[in-house]
Amino acid sequence: MRVALFLTCVNDTLYPATGRAVVTLLERLGVEVDFPVEQSCCGQPQFNTGYRHASEPLVRRYARAFEGYDHIVVPSGSCAAMVRDNYPRIGRKAAAEGRGGELAGLAESVVPRTVELTEFLVDVLGVTDVGAYYPHRVTYHPTCHGLRMLGLGERPRRLLEAVRGLELVELPGAQECCGFGGTFAVKNAAVSAAMGADKARAVMATGASAVCTVDNSCQMHIGGTLSRLGSTVRPVHIAEILASTEEVPFR
């Protein structure tokens, strides 16, 4: 099977290790991975801040970059949700503004092909044990868009539970938002910081050595807060855990 990786701009720029982990993991599972270099950003920062028109070129770019692939695998719940939930809205609104059905058509063409990484593993490949080894105490924070917009449910947990050596510890208040929220983090910095500090303290109280999510943008906030509070808990993307084996430990 051949799939396209939509890595997302945040991962490409700041978390290339996550991208390398996705490639390692999928190739180990017998999947051929392409990284169409025309890809960039899903347009979520623009859209969620109110600049819908500024997100439109990126909708077109996404559709063009991933044309012809049956599966577009996204290691980010938030960016996958942007495509699946908001691209159709952008299309509908453009049509309502009398600009025709082009964007709606593009949205329709990419929505059914866009899958978040854990969805791809569990639903498309049908695996939960990916042969990973990660001998650490880990707590899992379900990030909001994966949890509520995509409905990832138990998929990430089932994958983590099958990792050898990994001790999964409950995160109290796990379903509460970490406070990142894109531009919310700077527009309402005080509230965002308060939410982040509460999340970081909950993470620290678990005694885990790593906090795992399916979204590195949220991790940037959680990890940045942990670091500021002097914690040594590592923020880690689920792909990096799943890519790790006894022979080739990731990191």
Partner 1 sequence: MSGATGTYLGMPPFPRAAKDAVRDATLRANLRHATHTIRDKRAAAVAELPDWPELRAAGAAIKDRTLRHLDHYLVQLEERVTAAGGVVHWAADAAEANRIVTALVKETGEREVIKVKSMATQEIGLNEALAKAGIRANETDLAELIVQLGDDLPSHILVPAIHRNRGEIRDIFARNMARWGRAAPETLTDAPAELAEAARLHLREKFLRAKVGISGANFMVAETGTLVVVESEGNGRMCLTLPETLISVVGIEKVVPSWQDLEVFLQTLPRSSTAERMNPYTSMWTGTTDGDGPRVFHLVLLDNGRTDTLADEVGRQALRCIRCSACLNVCPVYERAGGHAYGSAYPGPIGAILTPQLRGTAGELDASLPYASSLCGACYEVCPVAIDIPEVLVHLRERVVQGGPVTVRGTRTRIRPAKGHAAERAALRAATWALDRPGAMRAGQRLAGRSRRLLPRRSLPGPGRAWTASRDLPAVPAEPFRDWWQRRTRGEDGR
* Binding footprint of partner 1 on the chain (CB under 8 A): 7, 9, 11-17, 19-20, 23, 35, 37-41, 43, 45-55, 57-58, 61, 86, 89, 96, 144-145, 147-149, 175-177, 179-197, 220-221, 223-225, 227-228
Nearer to partner 1 by Cβ, of 89 and 164: the residue is: 89
Question: What is the C-alpha to C-alpha distance for residues 202 and 97, in angstroms, rounded to an integer?
Answer: 46
Nearer to partner 1 by Cβ, of 166 and 217: the residue is: 217
Q: Is 148 helix (H, G, I), strand (E, B) or coil?
A: helix
Least separation, in Å, of the C-beta of 71 and partner 1? Answer: 18
Question: What is the C-alpha to C-alpha distance for residues 40 and 8, in angstroms, rounded to an integer?
Answer: 7
Nearer to partner 1 by Cβ, of 45 and 156: the residue is: 45
Least separation, in Å, of the C-beta of 129 and partner 1? Answer: 27
Question: Nearest to residue 158, comparing CAs of 144, 149, 168?
Answer: 168
| Residue 157 near residue 147, CB atoms below 8 Å | no
Least separation, in Å, of the C-beta of 164 and partner 1? Answer: 27
Nearer to partner 1 by Cβ, of 54 and 169: the residue is: 54
Least separation, in Å, of the C-beta of 10 and partner 1? Answer: 10
Cite the DSSP H helix spans in 114-188.
117-119, 144, 155-161, 184-187
Q: Is 90 helix (H, G, I), strand (E, B) or coil?
A: helix
Least separation, in Å, of the C-beta of 21 and partner 1? Answer: 10
Nearer to partner 1 by Cβ, of 127 and 229: the residue is: 229
Question: What is the C-alpha to C-alpha distance for residues 137 and 139, in angstroms, rounded to an integer?
Answer: 7
Question: What is the C-alpha to C-alpha distance for residues 246 and 102, in angstroms, rounded to an integer?
Answer: 49
